Structure 1
């Protein structure tokens, strides 16, 4: 059984989460590989797919496009999806909005495991415009990823795979 963690990333935080998911699955005896969406030519080479990405300007554009391009393959293989965003650092209203963004990005698919993870903002990896926008919206700066919560989600995915 081979699992692909297909992800989009903007500043690297989601790539680190995807690599962590692959590593944990591999440690659990499940062959898994994390690949950035733009590097994936044939997701059909894998038995199962997990798709994830960050919220960026209110969307998950790369994830949406990947899902549209590969609908037939994804329909047969998707087992999980995750979203990374600063909305998951507190405000319930923003969390609900982020959940809707994930639902839209992966539509019409409804995988059994959905992960909602806080992210990391490193201003040194952002453009001047992005840093200015963060200041205007008073976004929290720092690493808010909860690796234990992500690990719990991965354990559920592994249990589903081992069925």
Structure 2
């Protein structure tokens, strides 16, 4: 049975929820998956595959997820690696911001030879101030929670056989 580390960093809990949903879905598909928060003593070395996730903050992947991917890049190149981020603006903002967020994971995908990247919707804790909505092109009545659990589970279910395939 293939083992998969789902290493995540969360600020508000939505990335943890996402990692746990991916873990559950991969387990249902027959993989030995573990969702764990990134830390100094967490290593992908003992796993067959690694999924790394974190939110977008300040138009960048959070430093904790980025540093984990960078620290272990050489080991990740020898494993099936997948990267994901959560972003509220990706689903609600204007096209400039969507295009910018779509490229956030590329440097990390290149340095780890990641087989795939994904951007999922995120959540904000309260309504955004008018100037921020204007800058990002977000409508006033946009929902605060854009985490699509069904879509994430479907993505993980499609990913599972690719993680199981030997190489």
TM-score of the pair, normalised by structure 2: 0.82
Question: Separation in 1 of the partners of 2:19 and 2:83?
Answer: 11
The worse-fitting range, judged by mean Cα deviation, of 41-50 and 98-107 is: 98-107
Whether the aligned pair in 2 keeps the contact of 1:64 and 1:106 (CA below 8 Å) is: no
Which residue does the alignment assign to 2:12?
11
Q: Are the structure 2 counterparts of residues 121 and 141 from structure 1 closer, same or farther at C-alpha, using a change threshold of 3 Å? A: farther
**1:58-84 Cα distance to aligned partner (Å, 9 max, x none):** 111222211221122111124311110
RMSD value, Cα: 2.0
Gaps of 5+ in 2: none
Gaps of 5+ in 1: 124-130
Are 2:124 and 1:121 equivalent residues in the alignment?
yes
**1:110-145 Cα distance to aligned partner (Å, 9 max, x none):** 42222110011124xxxxxxx8xx413126552111
Count of equivalent residues: 154
Question: Separation in 1 of the partners of 2:112 and 2:73?
Answer: 9
Whether the aligned pair in 1 keeps the contact of 2:86 and 2:122 (CA below 8 Å) is: yes
Question: Separation in 2 of the partners of 1:114 and 1:29?
Answer: 22
TM-score of the pair, normalised by structure 1: 0.84
Segments ≥4 residues shifted beyond 3 Å: none
3-state SS of paired residue (1:55): strand
